[in-house]
Structure 1
């Protein structure tokens, strides 16, 4: 994976969008995709299983296509403007490509239900990511999604606190504060 560590901990759909920072692409290879999935291992039922899957370059292209559709729709949704119908349809199709079922099992004491998807690993991953996007996009809080205020950052976040300004206080926040301090204290 790139030297830049992916921002994680935002809604899964934003974590996906944020794999495309201002410089580079954190999903440049199938190995990058696998490494990102390891970071997301607890975010959806099949994440660990999918992280162990073998992804091809074609699979990577499909996941990146989902990311681009999510990126465009989130940008419209956060500004409360109508997103392109083609992007919505592509996200709907990604979910249809790997339908989800509640798989029933007996755990020794009770019946359990685990949501699983059918299809190839790439189709299942695309469907999980499209479903995560659907959840975020249908949430009224999507209009609160912000872009990091650091000059050289394009990452998005959903602030838990209304005064949050940066994608990460330790990443962009510190860098911005240090730059401001330097500007205030440099000699003329």
Structure 2
């Protein structure tokens, strides 16, 4: 199964290995004909819930964003559209390193996220860069851009792979070079079943059209 239930919504399972890739996995079937049914982020409320699910934002921040979106639906729709555009650009950047236009789109949002971030520390004294909770409805967008930029700045970005499964194309890290499928139990098994069926399917024998078992 490719999904889990989070706050009453079906959310894609987290399998990419890095939060900077998870946004790309909110669309299904990258290589297939676009279809609204492939969309996991169907509205802003789902985007906010997904941001918490992916570990990009805290539960308290998600609750505030959901309430703010109900009060400002037009602004929420704009933030959702921007996030979907970032998702498409990220998918190109990770799979086509030479796509300068896509990289530029990601870089612009990453710069904005970096400018908004503040350095905070906890009781252990360990500091980290965080985005302020008052960042508005674009906070999920900036959090995703920041996470993606962090991955792009490491050698791990060369380990990104796309699942070849039908109606999939999800991205994941493959540090050992041995992983082919997003999930062997789903896409891998489907491919095995399809390959077995293809081997058992009768084949056309010559110009007469006579069919023989394989």
Relative to the length of structure 2, the TM-score reads 0.68
Confirm or deny: 8 A CA contact 1:37 1:50 kept in the other structure. Answer: no
Matching of residues 71-150 of structure 1 within 5 Å: 71-84=88-101, 86-96=104-114, 99-104=116-121, 107=123, 113=127, 115-118=129-132, 119-150=134-165
Secondary structure of the structure 1 residue equivalent to 2:167: coil
Q: Which residue of 2 aligns with 1:32?
A: 46
Query: Quick one: structure 1 residues 29 and 70, their matched pair in 2 at CA, closer, same or farther if it must change by over 3 Å?
Result: closer
Confirm or deny: 8 A CA contact 2:119 2:129 kept in the other structure. Answer: yes
Displacement over 6 Å in runs of 4+: 1-4
Q: Deviations over 1:37-76 (max 9, x none)?
A: 3422xx34x4322322225243354244244335324523
- Segments of 5+ residues of structure 1 without an aligned counterpart are none
Give the CA deviation at 1:142. 1.5
Give the CA deviation at 1:112. 6.1
Matching of residues 53-72 of structure 1 within 5 Å: 53=64, 54=66, 56=69, 57=73, 58-72=75-89
Secondary structure of the structure 2 residue equivalent to 1:102: strand
Relative to the length of structure 1, the TM-score reads 0.76
Instruction: Measure the CA separation in 2 of the matches of 1:33 and 1:73.
Output: 17
Bigger CA radius of gyration:
2
Q: Deviations over 1:113-170 (max 9, x none)?
A: 4643233342332222111011111222222211111133221111133121111112
Q: How many residues align?
A: 181
Query: Quick one: structure 1 residues 39 and 73, their matched pair in 2 at CA, closer, same or farther if it must change by over 3 Å?
Result: closer
Q: Which residue of 2 aligns with 1:52?
A: 63
Q: How large is the Cα RMSD of the aligned pairs?
A: 3.0
